[in-house]
Structure 1
Amino acid sequence: MGNGALSGAVIAVAGAGGPAGRAAVLRLAEAGATVIGADNDPERLAEAVDAAGYAHGGATVVGDTVDLLNRESAQEWADRIEKDFGRVDGLVHLVGGWRGSETFTKTRLDDWDFLELLLIRTVQHTSLAFHEALQRSDRGRYVLISAAGASSPTAGNAAYAAAKAAAEAWTLALGDYFRKAGGEGGPHAAAAILVVKALVHDAMRAERPNAKFAGFTDVTDLAEAVVGVWDKPAAEVNGRRLWLTEKP
């Protein structure tokens, strides 16, 4: 385990219990990182942590039940990780959710209220909680997973696309903080956005065996791309959208 690409790194994963979170936790552990996952569903989180720990016996994989809708809880989580493990080298933000409508006219604004909390407020809380620790790291990375719809919204996805676009803008502002903090030497921490059309995993394929899922990114490929953000120098990925699907 000691010779992985992320050996010695301490990486937090928000939304670790979902399919994408599980894949990311597994891949990060495989790369040698100490992984601290958070999810609002304790059972789902325990399954993700157990699966990664079982697959990679030498890895340290920990689960924390954290309310990322609460600013103080997010801050306490960040502080606890740095205190317990001595550093924080990454925050991978995989808190997801979707609400849509048939047409623009039928958009429900309570969908916006739900998505604003899930897709924007959680990003605000994790970025504000972790940015100083990431800046202190020699390889700090904040990784947001976003959707192509943020750049080319469809009529029925107004609330979702607008929430994703706001989360992207917030993350790019964090990237500007890292850029300025780096001074003339360039940033040594980075905020990057991985953009997918949508995600697919084995359970979805099993449920819909005839579906093509054209242009979708498999969660294992997303996990590989997450690890890849650490392979590149901070200046190359900071404040960038890294497209895993065709650019609109």
Structure 2
Amino acid sequence: MNSYLNGNGGPLEGAVIAVAGAAGPAGRATLLRLAEAGATVVASDANPARLAEAVDAARYAHGGATVTGDTVDLLDLDATREWAAKTENEFGRIDGLVHLVGGWRGSATFAETDLADWDLLEKLLIRTVQHTSLAFHDGLLRSDRGRFVLVSASGATQPTAGNAAYAASKAAAEAWTLALADAFRKAGGDEGPKAAAAILVIKALVHDAMRAERPNAKFAGFTDAKDLADAIAGVWEKPAQEVNGQRLWLTPKP
């Protein structure tokens, strides 16, 4: 058993976790969940005001928790590398990167697809994964519990006609993350990977504000933001060998 699982603390006690795209509903729930589990949480988002609100909410909910926020341009590889280095230098380690940068564009039919949607989604859903994975790769390998967690969508496996750009972007992000997982596997050698890259697959996300806006909606197959946050934390509760390179489904497979 890994040393960090011994004693009273759980696998996230004392861990340092970076959360990219932290100001949305999934990010807010994740900051709360990780702070509750005893992690030091370093959040980033492109929106400084919303990021500050999310960080303050997590700090308020868990007195004594260390939750910080950095406005980082994840489309700039050098800036992303600087964020990773700053985090590890400041806290002495980096144990995880949770990728929650999102975005959606779609059309009524396949023929009406606007390739400008692809231009946007390629940046949001692929380029940010490339930059964060490259920036945090070495630090995660230095950790005894390094995890890279991507949140993806079932549409990447079963694309619909009007979601071509979105589904293709998500599929590319998954492939990139699986390549990272293979790098972790190779780095582990005969003993198996120490770090892991895992993909959490949802159909779509639902949160309290959405339910309030649409009280009669069923949201069938949707994953609640709090349940997603629990699943993210759960990636640290399993050995790296069990989760590395895995798609972990939070909705029925299509």
Give the TM interval when normalised to the shorter protein: over 0.9
Alignment correspondent of 1:193: 199
SS in 1 for 2:111: coil
**Post-superposition shift, 1:4?**
4.7
Is residue 151 of structure 1 aligned with residue 154 of structure 2? no
Is residue 175 of structure 1 aligned with residue 181 of structure 2? yes
**Post-superposition shift, 1:209?**
1.1
Q: Distance in 2 between matches of 1:5 and 1:202?
A: 28
Q: 1:137 to 1:5 in 2, by over 3 A?
A: closer
1:85-136: CA deviation from partner (whole Å, max 9, x where unpaired) = 0000000000000000000010000000000000000000000000100000
Alignment correspondent of 1:23: 29
Q: Which residues of structure 1 form unaligned runs of 5+?
A: none
Q: Distance in 2 between matches of 1:135 and 1:110?
A: 37
SS in 2 for 1:12: strand
**Post-superposition shift, 1:207?**
1.0
Is residue 84 of structure 1 aligned with residue 90 of structure 2? yes
Is residue 218 of structure 1 aligned with residue 224 of structure 2? yes
Match of 1:104 among 98, 107, 110: 110
TM-score, normalized by length of structure 1? 0.99
**Post-superposition shift, 1:221?**
0.1
Match of 1:61 among 58, 67, 76: 67
Alignment correspondent of 1:32: 38
Q: Distance in 2 between matches of 1:211 and 1:112?
A: 29
Aligned positions of 1:35-46 closer than 5 A: 35-46=41-52
Match of 2:211 among 205, 217, 223: 205
Quick one: percent identity of the two aligned structures? Answer: 77
Residue range with higher mean Cα deviation, 206-215 or 162-171: 206-215
- 1:105 aligned partner, one-letter code: A
Alignment correspondent of 1:95: 101
Match of 1:126 among 111, 116, 132: 132
Q: Distance in 2 between matches of 1:125 and 1:21?
A: 19
**Post-superposition shift, 1:5?**
4.1
- 2:76 aligned partner, one-letter code: N
Write out the 4+ residue segments of structure 1 that deviate beyond 6 Å after TM superposition.
none
SS in 1 for 2:237: coil
**Post-superposition shift, 1:3?**
3.6
Is residue 240 of structure 1 aligned with residue 246 of structure 2? yes
Is residue 74 of structure 1 aligned with residue 74 of structure 2? no
**Post-superposition shift, 1:176?**
0.1
SS in 1 for 2:109: coil
Q: Distance in 2 between matches of 1:52 and 1:69?
A: 26
1:176-226: CA deviation from partner (whole Å, max 9, x where unpaired) = 000000000000000000000000001111111111100000000000000
